[in-house]
Structure 1
């Protein structure tokens, strides 16, 4: 940032699980407990982790790493990521311990019934096992149980319940690195939501800009939780993915300010990255006076049908750009515009 220190990056739960696996495996296979361990991340970085938890018993060893998410407001920042290792019988096998979820719905990178430990963290742990096994002339046959004390409560603040991951958190990460305030993580969650909805055979999903519009749209269409995609400001992230992975019907809902920006061609609806063009809004309304309004909501109070006009304009823009999916199928969009109290100002379909 221009006038302060750069934001500090952190480490994913997957990186922490791999580091904990290394520490526990070194102890299981006859070494001393390390104070610190280093692992190689997918892009070659070699971070060092302090070992914060140690436990052992007959035939097993367990280590824990406290997750440091840097300056990102990550729900798992400060959580203890533990790995318990014991001898296995055929390669590396994973188990969900306390606070780690289990996949129950198709559409995710991990099959139903498996612990919610994503492919890249699994690959990192398998690399750790293979490396240490080669160094110590051991067979790389290990059972790994990952746990996160308190993870079930933390998971309620994530997308996991909607994605069909029950009982706790997912062990995540594609690079091993948490970049502060990264849009990529949110957009990836949107994509996984679409994947789960498609795998479940849903023919209607909804992307909304916030909690109020989500509540209104879900009640309006009686949609299940896993049909609700937490679009937020990332309309482009949702719409572009749907063009490659279509669902027959999609509702877009939001406040009049954000839907106005969508109607005017913006697909990133954050206030720092797009603004309402009030002159264009006045042209849409046919009322020049609203060009001086401070907000789209203020303008809607000056023109009674402005919400409906915005809904229709947004629908036309979305349908023209995204209505034909890449596989040639049609996506039927509809738009719902609300005010701050949740009253519907306009609907177009």
Structure 2
């Protein structure tokens, strides 16, 4: 019986089981297929070491053995993470590379010579040729800026190294000096990919083989941050110097319906405002404009750069402070603090005839916090709106940033 991963983390006071990545599945399937190809013996489980130095023993299924190729699969286990790829099968077909006329002959002799584990251990280290590619259900890169070149299979660098290492390790263990090719596939990936970020990233035809640690941590924020980074790199590689960022769907709707900017020009950052700014600085963006609903962006007025409610709130406190500077009386401030939603607070401010002045104060605070986080090398700004009241305010550099973005859009057409 194969040993499954028994590793847990705590999220929101809940014990949650970790899983393993599509990259780990691909490496394990490739290793098992290579073992069967070189030994001629069926393998029902395989051990693979992840980059996080955890060794997993995983079951192998869907085995098909031919004379010069073996195919098998490992099922993805995402643990308690709500991963769209959970339970899908990741296949690897490993075959001999037919670029050596003596390959079959040397292969037969090599396997016979190294038929036992003790004999394999005495074999001198060899460096076989290794090729890894993607098959059905694995996406293809069509745009610059991603971790792999245009035309390559969407197998990220760490999983690629894992697969290559697994094949080299197996070839050396059997004393095999010829070449091996692994084709990774995921038949279910064709449909699953339509529900992922891949189409936006210019990855067509399937899912990506992912993972940096080999382990899936439930509810991982890092996975989303990595996706944002990838999308930013793609936009920059396309020649965009000023990045247009929205926290979510409300922001994208406002861009499309009010500002008349195509959605493909924007990047969703979810709650990770600060991380997005940091990544923009790191990747060399010249400018960054945030367009978002006041319910999210109001928090920037207090320097709250992760806008998720579990991290911090302070929406009413920030609006109350801005209202004071706009001339609000104590009763108005109390009423703002009692509001549950920002729309309710905006209605109160409108009735008191200080909505405009309060928003001016808020934009000054947001601007100061964005400038501090962005530093001297990036032009940065924000546009804030609400669904009911429309445009509420812009920071000082917002209009200039919008002009640069719209000019880029026009040049693209």
TM-score (norm 2): 0.77
Q: Is the 8 A contact 2:139 2:203 kept in 1?
A: yes
SS of the aligned residue for 1:49 comes to strand
Aligned to 2:261: 222
SS of the aligned residue for 1:156 comes to helix
How many correspondences in the alignment?
A: 343
SS of the aligned residue for 2:64 comes to strand
Aligned to 1:335: 383
Which stretch of structure 1 is more off in the superposition, 89-98 or 148-157?
Answer: 89-98
Query: Greater share of helix residues, 1 or 2?
Result: 2
Q: Is the 8 A contact 1:109 1:119 kept in 2?
A: yes
Alignment partner of 1:192 is 2:238: no
SS of the aligned residue for 1:115 comes to coil
2: distance between equivalents of 1:267 and 1:334?
13
Alignment partner of 1:129 is 2:167: yes
Alignment partner of 1:79 is 2:85: no
How far is the alpha carbon of 1:264 from its aligned partner? 1.3
Alignment partner of 1:210 is 2:248: yes
Alignment partner of 1:27 is 2:36: yes
- The 1:45/1:76 distance shift into structure 2, 3 A limit, reads same
Aligned to 1:317: 369
Alignment partner of 1:269 is 2:315: no
How far is the alpha carbon of 1:201 from its aligned partner? 0.5
How far is the alpha carbon of 1:342 from its aligned partner? 9.2
Equivalent in 282, 287, 290 of residue 336 of structure 2: 290
2: distance between equivalents of 1:221 and 1:292?
36
- The 1:236/1:140 distance shift into structure 2, 3 A limit, reads farther
2: distance between equivalents of 1:223 and 1:335?
16
Equivalent in 11, 21, 43 of residue 20 of structure 2: 11
Equivalent in 204, 209, 217 of residue 179 of structure 1: 217
Which protein shows a greater Rg?
Answer: 2
2: distance between equivalents of 1:175 and 1:344?
43
Structural RMSD (CA): 2.2
Aligned to 1:237: 275
TM-score (norm 1): 0.91
TM-superposition CA deviations, 1:88-141 (whole Å, max 9, x none): 247221222111001111212211111111111111111111111111111262
How far is the alpha carbon of 1:211 from its aligned partner? 1.3
How far is the alpha carbon of 1:307 from its aligned partner? 5.2
Aligned to 2:348: 302
SS of the aligned residue for 1:124 comes to helix
Q: Which runs of 5+ in 2 are unaligned?
A: 1-9, 100-127, 399-413
Q: Which runs of 5+ in 1 are unaligned?
A: none
How far is the alpha carbon of 1:309 from its aligned partner? 4.9
2: distance between equivalents of 1:3 and 1:106?
38
